[in-house]
Amino acid sequence: MPSWAELVAEHADSVYRLAYRLSGNQHDAEDLTQETFMRVFRSLKNYKPGTFEGWLHRITTNLFLDMVRHRATIRMEALPEDYERVPGTDMTPEQAYTVSNLDPALQHALDELSPDFRVAVVLCDVVGMTYEEIADTLGVKMGTVRSRIHRGRIQLRESLERQAEHDDSAHELIRTR
């Protein structure tokens, strides 16, 4: 059994990447990552053998959805988009690489999706999970996963097409898909 420090070191980047893709900003991703590991620490004795990474994805995803629901009830004034996209100096090199390697136009399009669609698309197309793994992670039926991914991809493409009118990188993303 690995130590707690080894467990966090091994999985922190993966959890952070997922949290960043879901939330779209560094601060929420850091909060989600920290909360995920706090939940894991409290629940580790109840963990039933299976894919540990899948369990982490489920916790991270559920925390993100809880955060979105909570914010829907408490509207907060958001900072400008550019503020959140500037990598801070407190990021690890891995985090800075991850943040900078998803095209800003694509991240903007992901940010426009509803949380349910965003989660499904990110888990499938960014994390690389199968439909079955996504269904297990979200606790929904396979048909629901297929529908959310299909609709999410359509909305993603529409958003990129709107952006392509003003942004060459969005135009390139559409051409490569």
Structural domain containing residue 41: 1-88
User: Cα separation of 91 and 93, whole Å?
Assistant: 6
71 and 125, same domain (yes or no): no
State which of 88, 120, 146 marks the end of a domain: 88
State which of 88, 119, 148 marks the end of a domain: 88
Residues in the chain: 177
User: Cα separation of 143 and 138, whole Å?
Assistant: 12
Predicted confidence at residue 173, as pLDDT, reads 62
User: Cα separation of 48 and 109, whole Å?
Assistant: 36
Asked whether residue 136 is domain-assigned, the answer is yes
Nearest CA among 22, 29, 39, 10 for reference residue 119: 22
What CATH number does the domain containing 14 carry? 1.10.1740.10
Classify the C-alpha dihedral 27-34-149-106 as positive or negative: positive
177 and 107, same domain (yes or no): yes
Quote the tokens at residue 43.
């629940």
pLDDT grade, residue 88 (50/70/90)? very low
Percent of the chain with pLDDT over 90: 36
Predicted confidence at residue 83, as pLDDT, reads 44
What CATH number does the domain containing 142 carry? 1.10.10.10
2 and 82, same domain (yes or no): yes
In the chain, the number of structural domains is 2
Asked whether residue 94 is domain-assigned, the answer is no
Indicate whether this model's pTM tops 0.75. Answer: no
- Position 68, amino acid: V
Beta carbons of 159 and 109 less than 8 angstroms apart: yes
